[in-house]
Amino acid sequence: MTDIALKDYLQKYKIQLMLTLLVVGVLSVAIVVPGVYYWEEIKQITVLYILIKIIVILVPLMLAVAYLTYAERKFIGYMQVRIGPNRVGPRGWLQPIADALKLLSKEIIVPTNSSRFLFVIAPMLSIAPALAAWAVLPFTDTLVLANIDASLLYILALTSMGVYGVIIAGWASNSKYAFLGAMRSAAQIVSYEIAMGFALVGVLIAGGSLNLVEIVEAQQGSFLHWFWLPLLPLFLVYFISGVAETNRAPFDVSEGESEIVAGFHVEYSGMAFAVFFLAEYANMILIAALAALMFLGGWLSPFQGTWFEPWFEWVPGIFWLFAKIFIMAFFFLWFRATFPRYRYDQIMRLGWKVFIPITIVWLVLEGAAVVAGIGPWFD
């Protein structure tokens, strides 16, 4: 959407947009002002308090998802000596908003003879686990929506649900191309889910808990105390499996354009397609956040326990967590600009014949290290 197209859109829907902004502004003031004044009373109403915390997590998350698409186009543009989006707003900052408006205005076309109910529900099944997983992800030792004991088990259960959205989308579309893409993607996700699960078992053994807060606290010390060092093979397996799980390059064979058009979502359009698109990027941020929490010390400072610790005591822990998430998310974008797409047989071989044996061997070695009490990680 160029500047001219955006101006035409704003001119055409000027009244509707102004009314929408007015209503949103009035509702925001009507909710925020009493909310601040009666905050202590609201905290006593458990359901309302939880809903507010959910909104506080999901709104920034969806903004991060939208602007991750912009960051990807910009970063890859710079790597390929291009400019990237620069036409909508200053430096192209409004490009995600323009994309959202365009997709909202597009018609959702349901293919003939497709299963309408399954066709509509498939995108929801893809994005729901990626959002629901944030319920147990801690931002600090106290800032977490639900600090349950088995949070790692909850994450494993939810992330394995995403494959159902892919399979149902391919099946419900009544298209051979979509179904072939769904089968490819499902086989790939299931293959790498096993290696990813074994990697998380390694974190469980090292941390001695299924609770993510306790896993982060088990990494107290400098960056050499974080689990990336003793669990380096599992860290690499986990992150590469995460790239494969999200169908990102170089593992994006489910979207092999030259072979099966666009994969399992080939028949989707408008916001139904946008939800699949958002699910992919939400999963990228989720994988990056889990990698930061389980292997990179979460909100812990990299200078903890070093000579530089007094200089960085003023930095809040949530800043370190967001910085680590950003770095891990950047690798997703870097991989896409760097590596060519693998053949499907190479992807399957990597998952079954390389990653799974590596994780099993390392789990045995880690178990021996725990029994021997090798410090500073397993003492």
Task: Summarize pLDDT for 315-354 with one digit per residue, the tens.
Answer: 899 999 999 999 999 999 999 999 988 888 899 999 999 9
| pLDDT on residue 139 | 94
Please say if the pLDDT value at position 32 is more than 60: no
| pLDDT on residue 216 | 94
| pLDDT on residue 17 | 60
Is the backbone peptide bond immediately before 34 cis, with ω within 30 degrees of 0?
A: no
Please say if the pLDDT value at position 37 is more than 60: no
Q: Show Cβ contacts of residue 63 under 8 Å, excluding neighbours closer than 6 positions.
A: none
Q: Letter for the amino acid at 17? A: L
Q: Which residue has the tokens 């139904």?
A: 272
For the ranges 62-71, 221-230, 260-269, the one whose mean pLDDT is highest: 62-71
Question: From the CB of residue 340, how many other CB atoms can be counted at a distance below 10 Å?
Answer: 7
Nearest CA to 292 among 142, 178, 176, 140? 140
**Predicted confidence band of residue 282 (pLDDT cuts 50, 70, 90):** very high
Classify the phi-psi angles of 77: left when phi > 0, otherwise alpha if psi is within -120 to 50, otherwise beta: alpha
Cα 74 to chain center, whole Å?
Answer: 19
**pTM given for the model:** 0.87
| pLDDT on residue 288 | 96
* Cα–Cα dist 302/238, whole Å: 21
DSSP state of 106: S
Record the tokens describing residue 371, joined without a space: 């029994």
Q: Which residue has the tokens 């021996």?
A: 368
Per-residue pLDDT tens digits for 350-373: 999 999 999 999 999 998 988 888
* Cα–Cα dist 229/235, whole Å: 9
Helix (H, G, I), strand (E, B) or coil at 254: helix
Nearest CA to 135 among 214, 57, 45, 66? 57
Per-residue pLDDT tens digits for 155-208: 988 888 888 999 999 899 888 888 888 888 888 888 999 999 999 999 999 988
* Cα–Cα dist 149/314, whole Å: 30
